[in-house]
Amino acid sequence: MIKRGAVVGCIAVAAVLVVGAVPSLAQDEAPRTAWGQPDLQGVWDFRSITPMQRPEDLADKAFLTAEESAELERAAADRDTRLWQQEARRAEAGGNVGAYNNFWMDRGLKAVGTRRTSLIVYPPNGRMPSLTPSGQARADAGAEYRREHPADSWVDFSDGVRCILGFNAGPPFTPSAYNNNVQVFQTPDHLVIMTEMVNTARLVPLDGRPRLDPGVKQWSGDSRGYWEGETLVIETRNFDQKRRWRNSTESMRLVERLTRVDATTLEYKFTVTDPETWKSPWTASVPLVLNPEPMFEYACHEGNYSMPVMLGGARVEEAAAQP
């Protein structure tokens, strides 16, 4: 579930789409396309050690000092060093073999440049709003079901395990353990957003075409985009309930804003509204940094080829637990 090989086709497509963009710019200038729009194209790195939600012990502290931010980054580097240097641990026969070790992790070592204590910028406390009564009941029921039915069938596994959507791909895409890259392709009337994790590509029409029928649900929703000055606004709805993103429902509405700040920075802000889940909307801001390297094939097959083995193992455990 990590980078395996270069996606040559993606590089070729990117090369075609980039033609026409202004080639020579000062480092701090935001480039534009030949047709006059801000150029959002490129591979963008959204790694960050800044947490999505503000730690509760920071209370109303919205920003770290420069010293506190540096200490946070030192702690992240020290953690990685410890994990790299620890001795190998062998599992006994029948024991838990664990999961990926630090070789596979790529969480990053930098906090956001603003030194915010959370990626969430609204509500002001930097935390997700409280769940509605129905949202809390749904979360509790889901947790109880997963405890009792972890592997009755393939539908009990998440879309990430099943290699349908990456667990950081959203939308909205958010920093996680690895594969924190997204590639943007752009034409005058379309945008394509492709996350590295599971290589999910989302097509965003910019030409004002009608939306899909509300009854047509999609894993990544139905997106439509338009320009507000220098910012591209993308509104997405029609999410498939099966994707289970943060306990949201089909009523979720997502508004994303992409702004090219300079030659190497893209500001990504998103607002989530789901009155069936949260008591109010919430907004997060994730800075994206231009990555000069190409994206790679994700090659996620654990949840495809291994599904019969995982389900078979669950049946063996159930049989062994019988008196």
**In this predicted model, what pLDDT tens digit does every residue of 164-179 receive, in sequence order?**
999 999 999 999 999 9
Q: Is residue 91 part of a domain?
A: no
For the chain, give the number of residues.
323
CA atoms of 198 and 88, how far apart (whole Å): 29
Q: Is residue 170 part of a domain?
A: yes
CA atoms of 13 and 68, how far apart (whole Å): 42
Q: Is residue 162 part of a domain?
A: yes
pLDDT band at 90 (very low <50, low <70, confident <90, very high): confident
Domain count across the chain: 1
Please give the pLDDT value at position 17.
Answer: 41
Write out the residue range of the structural domain in which residue 255 sits.
5-80+101-317
Q: Is residue 88 part of a domain?
A: no
Q: Is residue 199 part of a domain?
A: yes
Q: Position 152: which residue type?
A: D
Q: Is residue 93 part of a domain?
A: no
Q: Classify residue 95 as left (phi > 0), alpha (psi -120 to 50) or beta.
A: beta
Whether the CA torsion 33, 261, 294, 257 is positive or negative: it is negative
pLDDT band at 94 (very low <50, low <70, confident <90, very high): confident
Q: What is the pTM of this model?
A: 0.88
Q: Is residue 96 part of a domain?
A: no
10-14, 244-248, 289-293: which is most confident: 289-293
Please give the pLDDT value at position 27.
Answer: 56
Quick check: bond before 175 cis, omega within 30? no
**Residue range 122-130: average pLDDT?**
98
Q: Is residue 53 part of a domain?
A: yes
